[in-house]
Amino acid sequence: MMHTIYVTVGLLLIVKASFAQQCLTNQRPSASDTNIPSYIVDLDTPPFLRWKEIAIQYKSKIKDLLNYTKSYIIKVWPMFTFLLDIMHTQLPLIANTLPEPYGDELKGISQASGISLGEIVFYNVFYEVSSLCTSIVAQDQHGRIIHGRNLDFGYLLGWDKTKNTWALPLKLRPLVISVNYTKHGQVHYRAISFAGFIGALTGIKPGVFSVSLNARFDLNGGYMGIIEWLYNFDRQQSFVTFALRDMLTNAKNYSEVLDYLSDVLLVAPCYYILAGTKPSEGAIISRSRRTTLNIKRLGADNNWFLIQTNSDNWRQQSALDDRYISAKKCMQTQGQSRVDFESIYNVLVSRPMLNKLTIYTSLMKPSTGQLESSLQYCRDEDIACTLW
């Protein structure tokens, strides 16, 4: 078994080494090519009904994703088929114990879509244990801040031989939507999400802050937090995506967000990447489930940009993942005088930041509330794509 692991890791290193890094230019799509549909979730509507339209419209695609995931577990990891029983018998308990409005929102999605509550909960908590991402916060010479991110998902969860790519991103891209959360008829905040997913992965509150979430891997990971929640060992924790949505809903300023996300107990370890509206308002909060391990701030040590992938930014980066080093090189190449949507987009779609796991790219300007997002497809005919 160990020999197989060593051989696999060695092969992965060879594959990664065979791809040269790059820094592209002139890649930003036109507004008509951003290709992500937009919906309204009215926060003045009862939670049970808020997602009804979206749940009905996307139920077949959500079912397709869940059916693939379940069949993959049965086929590839038969020793873990007991997880499917837990999905139906135990995970509904999470919906019954979540703080409002989240429990009722999940129950409403389940009823509207006809998908079991356990499966809807599974779909909403899976990010607690798996994801790969790249986030960048940068400040130009005038103190204006831009926040960009790639969301990558589906590592080691199946390969589509016919399309020569990871299988899960193919199922997730049709679910990506832009959500305008409204109160009293006005946009309160915006998020890029998956249909039927009620937490926040990428969001902006106009004139206040923007935020993205990257997974952080730890032995004391999200699976432990979910077990603790299920068996009532600790329900003082917050699910990482719900903590973000809490802040998008309630926070009045950047400092409030920074303090809360640094202190809140979490179900899973993660990286919170923040950007504000004033010079030097940017930070990467590296979280364990219980504490903040490190806060890296924009402007400290003359840093005009911050980059976060899925490794601790104060440690040596893994040889298996060169996204951080490559993104840093591209940012330094373009320089601080060229911090705008186009330049950050160019970095995020350069290799290996853009790879076969990349589902979407988002660009945010918190001072104005501007948000642009586009689906990503790393095609071998366009570029020699890295696997991650």
Q: Are residues 13 and 28 both part of a single domain?
A: yes
Q: Are residues 100 and 140 both part of a single domain?
A: no
Looking at residue 383, its pLDDT comes to 63
pLDDT at 1 over 70: no
Which residues are marked as active site? Answer: 133
313 C-beta neighbours (distance < 10 Å), count:
15
Residue linked to tokens 């703080």? 99
Q: Are residues 231 and 114 both part of a single domain?
A: no
Largest CA distance in the chain: 61
Alpha helices for 240-340 (secondary structure H)? 240-250, 254-263, 323-334
Looking at residue 382, its pLDDT comes to 62
Q: Are residues 139 and 275 both part of a single domain?
A: yes
Return the closest-CA partner of residue 55 out of 191, 164, 193: 193
Residue 94: band (very low, low, confident or very high) from pLDDT cuts 50, 70, 90: very high
Percent of the chain residues past pLDDT 90, beyond the cut: 75
Residues 37-60 have a mean pLDDT of 98
Percent of the chain residues past pLDDT 70, beyond the cut: 92
Looking from the CA of 115 toward its CB, the CA atoms found within 13 Å total 28
Q: Are residues 241 and 195 both part of a single domain?
A: yes
Residue partners of 238: CB distance under 8 A and separation at least 6: 246, 264, 265, 266, 267
386 assigned to some structural domain: no
Quick check: pTM over 0.75? Answer: yes
382 assigned to some structural domain: no
Looking at residue 320, its pLDDT comes to 81
Q: Are residues 179 and 273 both part of a single domain?
A: yes
Highest-scoring range by mean pLDDT, 18-27, 55-64, 213-222, 232-241:
55-64
33 assigned to some structural domain: yes
Q: Are residues 213 and 101 both part of a single domain?
A: no
Chain centroid offset of residue 237 CA: 19
CATH code where residue 281 lies = 3.60.60.10
Provide the token pair at 347: 């970095």
Return the closest-CA partner of residue 372 out of 27, 101, 105, 15: 27
255 C-beta neighbours (distance < 10 Å), count:
12
98 assigned to some structural domain: yes
**Number of folded domains in the chain?**
2
359 assigned to some structural domain: yes
384 assigned to some structural domain: no
Q: Are residues 199 and 306 both part of a single domain?
A: yes
- Which is more confident, 72 or 128? 72
52 C-beta neighbours (distance < 10 Å), count:
15
Return the closest-CA partner of residue 349 out of 191, 148, 212, 200: 148
pLDDT at 42 over 90: yes
Q: Are residues 180 and 68 both part of a single domain?
A: no
- Which three-class secondary structure state does DSSP give residue 209? strand
Q: Per DSSP, which regions of 290-355 are E strands?
A: 292-297, 305-308
Contact 298, 277 (CB under 8 A): no
Q: Rounded to whole angstroms, how far apart are CA atoms 313 and 123? A: 29
Structural domain containing residue 112: 45-125
Q: Are residues 351 and 262 both part of a single domain?
A: yes
Looking at residue 287, its pLDDT comes to 97
Residues 30-52 have a mean pLDDT of 90
**Structure confidence by residue, pLDDT tens digits, 14-39:** 444 445 678 999 999 876 566 799 99
Helix 117-125 to helix 102-113 angle, to the nearest 10 degrees?
120
Looking from the CA of 192 toward its CB, the CA atoms found within 13 Å total 28
**Where is average pLDDT lowest: 10-24, 148-162, 166-180?**
10-24
List, in sequence order, every residue forming a beta bridge with 209; answer none if it has no partner.
205
Q: Rounded to whole angstroms, how far apart are CA atoms 292 and 370? A: 29
Looking at residue 129, its pLDDT comes to 65
pLDDT at 56 over 60: yes
Q: Rounded to whole angstroms, how far apart are CA atoms 323 and 26? A: 20
Looking at residue 2, its pLDDT comes to 37
**Structure confidence by residue, pLDDT tens digits, 322-373:** 999 999 999 999 999 999 999 999 999 999 999 999 999 999 999 999 999 9
Residue 222: band (very low, low, confident or very high) from pLDDT cuts 50, 70, 90: confident
168 assigned to some structural domain: no
Residues 7-17 have a mean pLDDT of 44
Q: State the virtual CA torsion across 228, 233, 238, 240 in degrees, nearest 10.
A: -20
Q: Are residues 311 and 230 both part of a single domain?
A: yes
Rg (CA), the chain: 20
Residues 258-287 have a mean pLDDT of 97
Q: Are residues 107 and 228 both part of a single domain?
A: no
- Which is more confident, 163 or 190? 190
Provide the token pair at 337: 């005088």
Looking at residue 219, its pLDDT comes to 80
Pairing of strands 38-42, 176-183: parallel
- Run of H or E residues at 211: strand 209-215
209 assigned to some structural domain: yes
- For residue 366, CA distances in Å to 288, 297, 372 come to 26, 17, 12
